[in-house]
């Protein structure tokens, strides 16, 4: 089976994809020996296909994750965006990069803060919308009480990072096992 190697943008590591792996993302299948990097950059993987990936399919944040990594906010990814997603979620990605992308994922409204509505969205996704509004409100109030250092009722990226770095589970849960 042939393989195609690309320089990984994160850490200049060499990443190798088998023909079978790439065939899953290229319609119609092509002769990979003749595919150039410029051609790979033209590939767009739609969200419907991305959501079938084992690493995303059971994740309640799958659409939000794809939207964050999608330059046009469509949740469909170019090949480079796909590689970036998997690079950030790799076990070897720097903690700072993981924290940065975690913040972007939790900042649902894109205002550069994680506020009550962002926390509400996250709780609803995590609980499959099973909690009463009073319970959700109690959760975001407790989160802000614990983490909102400047008491402005929202978390800046540095406040978010401060909380995340205290979480021993963050690094072990913010990655894909491939």
| Residue 138 included in any domain | yes
Each residue's pLDDT tens digit, 98-155: 999 999 999 999 999 999 999 999 999 999 999 999 999 999 999 999 999 999 999 9
| Residue 107 included in any domain | yes
Q: In terms of C-beta density within 10 A (0-12 exposed, 13-18 middle, 19 or more buried), how is residue 8 classed?
A: middle
For residues 93 and 62, the answer to whether their CB atoms sit within 8 Å is no
Q: Which domain holds residue 114?
A: 94-178
| Residue 85 included in any domain | no
Each residue's pLDDT tens digit, 42-91: 889 999 999 999 999 999 999 999 999 999 999 999 999 999 999 999 98
Enter the pTM of the model: 0.78
| Residue 131 included in any domain | yes
| Residue 101 included in any domain | yes
Here the CATH number for the domain that contains residue 138 is 1.10.238.10
| Residue 127 included in any domain | yes
CA distance 37 to 115: 40
| Residue 133 included in any domain | yes
CA distance 1 to 9: 25
Phi, psi (degrees; rounded to nearest 5) at 78: -75, 170
Q: How many domains does the chain have?
A: 1
| Residue 117 included in any domain | yes
């Amino acid at each position: 089976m042939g393989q195609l190697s690309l320089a990984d943008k994160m850490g200049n590591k060499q990443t190798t994809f088998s023909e079978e792996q790439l065939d899953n993302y290229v319609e119609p299948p092509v002769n990979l020996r003749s595919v150039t990097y410029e051609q790979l950059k033209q590939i767009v993987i739609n969200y419907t296909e991305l959501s079938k990936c084992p690493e995303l399919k059971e994740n309640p944040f799958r659409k939000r994750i794809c939207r964050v990594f999608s330059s046009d906010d469509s949740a469909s990814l170019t090949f480079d965006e796909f590689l970036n997603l998997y690079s950030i979620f790799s076990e070897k990605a720097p903690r700072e990069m993981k924290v940065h992308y975690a913040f972007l994922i939790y900042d649902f409204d894109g205002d550069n803060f994680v506020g009550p509505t962002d926390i509400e969205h996250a709780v609803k996704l995590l609980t499959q919308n099973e909690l009463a509004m009073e319970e959700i409100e109690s959760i975001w109030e407790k989160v802000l009480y614990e983490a909102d250092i400047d008491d402005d009722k929202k978390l800046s990226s540095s406040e978010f990072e401060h909380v995340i770095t205290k979480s021993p589970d963050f690094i072990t849960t913010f990655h894909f096992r491939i």
